[in-house]
Amino acid sequence: MRLVITFRTTAEAMAMERVCREQQADGRLIPVPRSISAGCGLAWCAAPQSEEALMQLMREHGVACEAVYSCLV
């Protein structure tokens, strides 16, 4: 299982990647899995146990997500 965070825009997905790289957070950008429908087609994929830390980073840096899923990738 993986944590998958989707975004409404490519700019939000790229902001997530920038923040996570700067903060050395878990995960990477992936194409949105076919089982999920999302706005921009990009998603952040990370270990499920990273959810709380990633949500905190997003709040602190003003990155908005569309939805959060737990699924097989």
Residue ranges and CATH numbers for the domains of the chain are: 2-71 (3.30.70)
Mean pLDDT of 9-24: 97
Mean pLDDT of 24-53: 93
pLDDT band of residue 59 (cuts 50, 70, 90) is: very high
Q: 68, 10 in Cβ contact below 8 A? A: no
pLDDT of 38 higher than 80: no
Q: How far apart are CA 52 and CA 36, in angstroms?
A: 21
State pTM to two decimals: 0.93
Mean pLDDT of 17-39: 93
pLDDT of 37 higher than 90: no
